[in-house]
Structure 1
Amino acid sequence: MTYAVAALVDIDDYVATARAQGQPWAAGQLRRAARAVASAAARAGATWRPEPPEEWLVLLTGADPDTLTTAAATLAEEVRTRIVRETAWTATVSIGPPSPGLHEAEQAARRANDYKLVLGGDRVIRLPARPGSPPPPPVRIEQELTRRVRAGDRDGAAGLLASWVDRCAPGADPGVLRNWLIGQLLFVVDVAGQVRLADGSTDWVETGARLPISDLVTVGAIHERSYLHIWLKDILGRLIPAAPRRDILTLAEHYLAEHYTNPGLRLADVAAAVCASPYYIAHLFAEERRTTFLRHLTGLRLAHARRLLTTSALPVDVIASGSGYPSAKALRGAFRRHVGCSPTEYRRTRFRTGP
């Protein structure tokens, strides 16, 4: 009986490097990689064929399964060594078990290569045993994901999902990992859904017309984590409506209105809360409000302090801590700079003249 073992040679991070360096550069590297595969296959007495754009399938046949398994392992290491030496890339070689037919051998190698998604590249992968019952995801991100989606932060949502995949991948089955990810993407569709039915639920018919489900299940063909990150950024760019500049500024102002009494509040905190950069928030305050972030925050704090000074008999130090100032001295300094008098003088004047 004749057995076959297939080895699938897969260039690591091909899409990312081709985008970074350009297609002419990538084409030249692919020619070098093809020569490396051909040379190693010839030494092993194997046949091979290209699987564009960046894979090659190498087949070994023989009567002894153990001999074939050993030969495939030797071939895999030689291919990887040659590609590292002769190109700017690394490669992953995935090997299936000996099979009675060529088709079965090829399918086994592809199933093994699927584990590149969870194991990473630059290695030899053998088809593992079938996993048991799938565990739940090790971490949940729906609350933070909702915040970023509603803020229109496409890049932030994509980055959050990409880092979540990286955290979930170790020890996971690739099929289970993809199912988790598709679930998160459907969650994003639901949160971002602009067209809803009368009961408030997402209009999935309209949503499916805007973003076909086939686009989501494309993830089933991805086994490279770097490409998955690129794909997530593209898909979320279509799923999440971009937040208008004014919406981001409004979110920042609302957050400030709710948290200005925190003495430790900083621009970076507000920017993180609305999923934007501190520079961009500062730019929006300057361009849209003709003021600065600090002036806006100071205005909120002083307005609150002035209300308390004229409507209560609270001590100045209590009013300071309730208005976002770390001490009565800090409140007095702010009053001197922006109001022109001390809190006590302001209270005395207001109580005499009326609020």
Structure 2
Amino acid sequence: MTYAVAALVDIDDYIASEQAQGLVWARGQLERTARAVNAATGGRAQARPPEEWLVLLSGPDPDALMSEAVVLAEEVRARIVRETAWTATVSLSPPSLGGGAAEREARRINDLKLVLGGDRVITPAPPYRGQSLTPPVRIEQELTRRVQAGDRNGAAGLLASWVDRCAGEPGVDPQTLRSWLIGQLLFVVDAVNTTRLADGSTDWVRACARLPVEDIIVVGDIHERSYLHIWLRETLGRLMPAPSRHDILAVAEAYLAQHFADPGLRLATVAAAVSASPFYISHLFAEERGTTFLRHLTGLRLRHARKLLATTDRPVDEVAARSGYSSAKALRGVFQRHVGCSPTEYRRQRAR
């Protein structure tokens, strides 16, 4: 009886490096890699364009065959590192009774590269310690903020970091990781969707038109985390419309309305929250509202302070704290400049 073991040689980060260095550079590296692989395997490697090679080993003893495959895999990896600018992952199938079955198993095992990372030999028995059913961290609140701000790069970066964190969780397999990611993408679809049914629930028929089935299917073929990051940026670019200046200003105003009572609130804080530059936020307030950021913030704080002074008996220092001022003295200074009297006098006038 003759057994077969497949060794699948897969260049690490091929698409990312091609995008970074250019097609001509990548083609030159592929030629060098092909020579290295053929030298290590004695010409037995079969090219699987654009960046894979398959080596089939056969023999009557499955244990000896696996040992031979591991040695060969390490030699292939070492030559690629020495002779090219790349690293590679070699995935080994368990011994089987046919070359076709061995190649399918090697590809299945190569899928583990998504969670294990590259630059290694992946054997048929990866060291998993159980299955993780929930992500190690939830990012929906921060993801919502970035989506609502129209920050496509920020949202993609957040999801990419989250994927890397989840991939390092003990027991996570590629399918679990993909399921979590698809859940986050559906969350983004819901966040950007403005159409609701009569009962207020999401119109998923329209919402999912933003995320075609083909895009979801593609995730199942990605086994390289660097490519997954690229795919995320491209997908979020399609899911999230580019924000208009009016959208950015509306988000900035909503953030101010929610956080004006924070004495430490600054223009830079708001700009970071809406993923825009402080200069651009200042420009939008001047162009669209005919005012400045500081005047707008002061107006929010004074309006709230006036309401508290007129409708409650709270001490002035408490009114100041609830309106975004660090002290009663600071509130009195603002009142004198903008209202023409002190907070106490304002309260007395309103009581008449």
Pairwise TM-score range, normalised by the shorter structure: 0.7 to 0.9
1:36 aligns with 2:31: no
Shift in Å at residue 280 of structure 1?
4.1
Per-residue CA distance 1:157-201 (angstroms, 9 max, x = gap): 222221221111123111111122122222322332344444444
1:72 aligns with 2:66: no
Shift in Å at residue 311 of structure 1?
6.3
SS across alignment from 2:45: strand
Q: CA separation of 1:286/1:12 partners in 2, compared to 1, >3 Å: closer, same or farther? A: farther
Matched to 1:69, the amino acid is M
- Cα-Cα RMSD: 2.9
CA distance in 2, matches of 1:2, 1:349: 96
CA distance in 2, matches of 1:18, 1:116: 19
1:104 aligns with 2:101: yes
Specify the alignment match of 1:122 in structure 2. 119
Q: 1:154 aligns with which of 131, 152, 155?
A: 152
Specify the alignment match of 1:10 in structure 2. 10
Greater Cα shift, 235-244 or 67-76: 235-244
Residues 148-227 of structure 1 correspond to what in structure 2 (within 5 A)? 148-170=146-168, 171=170, 172-227=172-227
CA distance in 1, matches of 2:3, 2:201: 55
SS across alignment from 1:176: helix
CA contact (8 A) 1:72 1:95 kept: yes
Greater Cα shift, 303-312 or 9-18: 303-312
CA distance in 1, matches of 2:177, 2:298: 47
1:144 aligns with 2:142: yes
CA distance in 1, matches of 2:338, 2:209: 57
CA contact (8 A) 1:111 1:127 kept: no
CA contact (8 A) 1:245 1:284 kept: yes
Greater Cα shift, 178-187 or 15-24: 178-187
Matched to 1:161, the amino acid is L
CA contact (8 A) 2:12 2:87 kept: yes
CA contact (8 A) 2:148 2:251 kept: no
Q: CA separation of 1:318/1:143 partners in 2, compared to 1, >3 Å: closer, same or farther? A: closer
Matched to 1:58, the amino acid is V
Matched to 1:82, the amino acid is R
CA contact (8 A) 1:320 1:331 kept: yes
Specify the alignment match of 2:57 in structure 1. 60
CA contact (8 A) 2:310 2:350 kept: no
1:339 aligns with 2:338: yes
Q: CA separation of 1:325/1:25 partners in 2, compared to 1, >3 Å: closer, same or farther? A: same
CA distance in 2, matches of 1:262, 1:186: 34
Matched to 2:159, the amino acid is L
Matched to 1:157, the amino acid is A
Shift in Å at residue 293 of structure 1?
2.5
Shift in Å at residue 349 of structure 1?
7.7
Shift in Å at residue 312 of structure 1?
6.2
CA distance in 1, matches of 2:345, 2:126: 81
Q: CA separation of 1:322/1:95 partners in 2, compared to 1, >3 Å: closer, same or farther? A: same
Aligned residues: 349
Q: CA separation of 1:283/1:27 partners in 2, compared to 1, >3 Å: closer, same or farther? A: farther
Q: List gaps (5 residues or longer) in structure 1.
A: none
Shift in Å at residue 352 of structure 1?
6.4
Matched to 1:224, the amino acid is E
CA distance in 1, matches of 2:135, 2:247: 33
Q: CA separation of 1:183/1:350 partners in 2, compared to 1, >3 Å: closer, same or farther? A: closer
CA distance in 2, matches of 1:117, 1:15: 14
Shift in Å at residue 247 of structure 1?
1.7
Matched to 1:222, the amino acid is I
CA contact (8 A) 2:77 2:87 kept: yes
Per-residue CA distance 1:79-108 (angstroms, 9 max, x = gap): 111111111111111111111110111111
Q: CA separation of 1:328/1:350 partners in 2, compared to 1, >3 Å: closer, same or farther? A: closer
Shift in Å at residue 147 of structure 1?
3.4
CA distance in 1, matches of 2:290, 2:252: 15
Greater Cα shift, 80-89 or 204-213: 204-213
Q: CA separation of 1:193/1:55 partners in 2, compared to 1, >3 Å: closer, same or farther? A: same
CA distance in 1, matches of 2:262, 2:143: 25
Q: CA separation of 1:282/1:302 partners in 2, compared to 1, >3 Å: closer, same or farther? A: same
CA contact (8 A) 1:182 1:217 kept: no
SS across alignment from 1:221: coil
SS across alignment from 1:9: strand
CA contact (8 A) 1:309 1:343 kept: no
Shift in Å at residue 350 of structure 1?
8.7
Q: TM-score, normalised by structure 1?
A: 0.87
Q: TM-score, normalised by structure 2?
A: 0.87
Residues 271-282 of structure 1 correspond to what in structure 2 (within 5 A)? 271-282=271-282
Q: CA separation of 1:198/1:331 partners in 2, compared to 1, >3 Å: closer, same or farther? A: closer
